[in-house]
Structure 1
Amino acid sequence: MARPRAAALTEASLAHWPLPDPGPDGDKEARGQVLVIAGSAELPGAALLAGTAALRAGAGKLAIASPASIAPGLALAIPESRVIALPETRGGGIAARGCEALAPLAEKVAAVVIGPGLRDERGSMAFVRRLLPLFRGCTVLLDSIAMSVATQRAFDQPVLLTPHAGEMAHLSGLPKEAVAHDALAVACEAAMRWNACVVLKGASTVIATPQHRAWCFKGGSLGLATSGSGDVLAGLMGGFAARGLRPEHAAAWAVVVHAKAGKNLGRRVGPLGYLARELAAEVPGLIRQFAR
């Protein structure tokens, strides 16, 4: 088999995939709704980071579904969002029966982000397996332990997976060193095997599709390797997907904008020490800059 090749992903690349224009009279419905299913008692902030990023990417509406124990706090922390409290497993995850509360949203949302900050891998897998068929008509992004369902099935609906090297090692059974050594080949093989768009994150990030297309982004910075940064990236992808971009194009916009936000903060704050929560505020201005 021929060795896979990847196109370079740069800021200029985004001009090939312009964001849909809602028009001067477009309301929030025209920019799509995002459902973020995230958080746990230990990591409630992950839901906040992902949800805020989705709105900063320009999504029109946001709903957050989280374990019942943290839902009231999230509702206060992000008043722009509807917050749905879901039943919890004994391990602190979301119980599969929680899908019943989310089913009415299936015809309303354009993108779903599942996984930031979730706990209880086994319980979360049961929840995700039940949820996926309900949201067949939109882009679903699986992050963190929600990606574990990929070990059991290939997908038959639009799905984004966002592993870093360690997570890809867990999902694929390969040593972490092997993943890092040949990220392009690993991502391309995984995309075909799982029938999903795979965003393999790292110093260089690879985006691969089951249709044998791939891009490589090398514009990251050390400061982005910080707690919560991946949650922001997942939320950005969900926001761009809700606005109407294909999964791989939503991923490309998110990766480039996320990196540029980090560089902006690196110049103002310092190359290390800026916080993931500060990234999202950079996004609207960057979208305006790139959209030109």
Structure 2
Amino acid sequence: MNAARRTDEGRASGARRITPALLKAWPLPDPSGGTSKEDRGRVMVIGGSRQIPGAVLLTGIAALRAGAGKLQVATVADAAMSLVMSLPEARVIGRPSDRAGAIRDLDGDATHCVRTAHSVVVGPGMDRSAATQRVVRAVIANAQGTIVLDAGALDALALAAFRRRRSAGVAMVLTPHAGEMAALLDTDEDTVMANAETIAREFAQAWNVVLALKGPTTWIAAADGRMWVNTAGSVGLGTSGSGDVLAGVIAGLAARGATPEQAAVWGVSLHARAGARLSRRHGQVGFLAREISGEIPALMHGL
């Protein structure tokens, strides 16, 4: 099923296409009344591994570019010092790794940061493993704001833990691509791509989450049945680290006070439009994920 047909079906069934007019009518929280960085919220990013230490760097920068006031990062101890040097804006917590190079667990310091953060991203640079499940369960048990699950943290057991908790004020945003969605549903990628709209809607409602099912056409579904569809962007966004950036943008917007569905809709749109800008400047493909975040502030303010 091609993108145009999916989009037409989405409009027919109630999904709203993300346009400048839609975003203008749904403005982000106004930062002008704030007096300090605390007023724009704290983001906690948890992820990375010995093999993929840069993922949390991409996510953290994106959260700050989206306007978050404070950033804290937990990653493997082996990568912590280099991250401190590369990301001086953040507080960095190094955690021991398991034999595979993944974060083994969260200590009291990291858990306190999860509790006091307005949004928490977990998953960038992490594989699906028992260690990752342990970390995700700790986040779900302690978070008080919006949780963004990405990459290796997209796990059915984690969702079951979230369903059991159901705490007031705690929300979850999932950002899978078709392959990750297929793994969550124990199906194949072709099935997800052919039925993306229906899958997004039913999954969000069944699990009480906001789901951003990424692809050339991205479907965003809220638990109450509302849906949005994005067809803007660039083929160049299909590059290593691009999803880490999107997760950070969504978390940064949520930390500033955007609702989970608003953060997802705005985040997807900003990410897509940033890719389109980079494609016009550099060519259809070849720009780097690290360059996406630099486009966000101007786009966010309509420049």
Q: TM-score, normalised by structure 2?
A: 0.90
- The runs of at least 4 consecutive aligned structure 1 residues that moved more than 4 Å come to none
Aligned residue for 2:287? 274
Per-residue deviation, 1:197: 0.6
Match status 1:143 vs 2:150 = yes
2:262 to 243, 249, 253: 249
Aligned residue for 2:234? 221
Q: Distance in 2 between matches of 1:120 and 1:176?
A: 18
Aligned residue for 1:48? 57
Per-residue deviation, 1:152: 3.9
Q: Distance in 1 between matches of 2:13 and 2:162?
A: 21
Native 8 Å contact 1:62 1:82 kept in 2: yes
Match status 1:130 vs 2:143 = no
Aligned residue for 1:39? 48
Number of aligned residue pairs: give it: 286
Equivalent position amino acid for 1:75 in 2: V
Q: TM-score, normalised by structure 1?
A: 0.93
1:108 to 94, 101, 116: 116
Native 8 Å contact 2:210 2:222 kept in 1: yes
CA displacement, residues 122-147 of structure 1 (integer Å, 9 cap, x when unaligned): 21011111221211x20000001111
Q: Distance in 2 between matches of 1:8 and 1:144?
A: 25
Native 8 Å contact 2:209 2:223 kept in 1: yes
- Summarize the alignment of residues 202-221 of structure 1 with structure 2, pairs less than 5 Å apart: 202-221=215-234
SS of residue in 2 equivalent to 1:63: strand
Native 8 Å contact 2:55 2:124 kept in 1: yes
- Summarize the alignment of residues 5-84 of structure 1 with structure 2, pairs less than 5 Å apart: 5-84=14-93
Per-residue deviation, 1:99: 4.2
CA displacement, residues 13-51 of structure 1 (integer Å, 9 cap, x when unaligned): 112321212335521000001001121111111111000
- Label 1:99 to 1:183 Cα distance change in 2 as closer, same or farther (>3 A): farther
SS of residue in 2 equivalent to 1:23: helix
Per-residue deviation, 1:120: 5.1
Native 8 Å contact 2:136 2:158 kept in 1: no
Aligned residue for 2:7? none
- Label 1:152 to 1:24 Cα distance change in 2 as closer, same or farther (>3 A): closer
**C-alpha RMSD of matched pairs (Å):** 1.6
Q: Distance in 2 between matches of 1:286 and 1:41?
A: 34
SS of residue in 1 equivalent to 2:302: helix
Equivalent position amino acid for 2:41 in 1: G
Q: Distance in 2 between matches of 1:84 and 1:129?
A: 18
Per-residue deviation, 1:215: 0.6
Aligned residue for 2:210? 197
- Label 1:88 to 1:120 Cα distance change in 2 as closer, same or farther (>3 A): farther
SS of residue in 1 equivalent to 2:219: strand
Q: Distance in 2 between matches of 1:289 and 1:257?
A: 10
SS of residue in 2 equivalent to 1:69: helix
CA displacement, residues 225-246 of structure 1 (integer Å, 9 cap, x when unaligned): 0111101000000100000001
- Label 1:75 to 1:36 Cα distance change in 2 as closer, same or farther (>3 A): same
Per-residue deviation, 1:88: 1.6
Q: Distance in 1 between matches of 2:58 and 2:18?
A: 25
Per-residue deviation, 1:204: 0.3
Q: Distance in 1 between matches of 2:271 and 2:23?
A: 13
| Unaligned runs of at least 5 residues, structure 1 | none
Q: Distance in 1 between matches of 2:173 and 2:289?
A: 21
Aligned residue for 2:99? 90
